[in-house]
Structure 1
């Protein structure tokens, strides 16, 4: 959801996070967590 909203509302933010595309289960999980942290910090700006 956050990824799609940032793609539509703030394209520069959407382009700021790049995945490595290893397609291994554990690394995909860690990468998704990092992606959520990125959107939380830059898109949601929760304190």
Structure 2
């Protein structure tokens, strides 16, 4: 879940927590794509897998 990773990042690595900027298009497909991009950001910068 994206919000779980976002909250963990805010607490454990606050310096990178605001690195992902949302585009806020608010269509179903855009929201899904944005969530995948956000997960990718947290994987690369927070989890480092």
Q: Where on the TM-score scale, by shorter chain, does this alignment land: which range?
A: 0.7 to 0.9
Identify the range of structure 1 (9-18 vs 32-41) with the bigger mean alpha-carbon deviation.
9-18
Q: What is the total number of aligned residue pairs between the two structures? A: 46
Unaligned 5+ segments in structure 1 are: none
Matches within 5 A, 1:1-47: 1-46=4-49
What is the RMSD computed on CA atoms of the aligned residues? 0.8
Q: Which runs of 5+ in 2 are unaligned?
A: none
Moved over 6 A (4+): none
TM-score (norm 1): 0.87
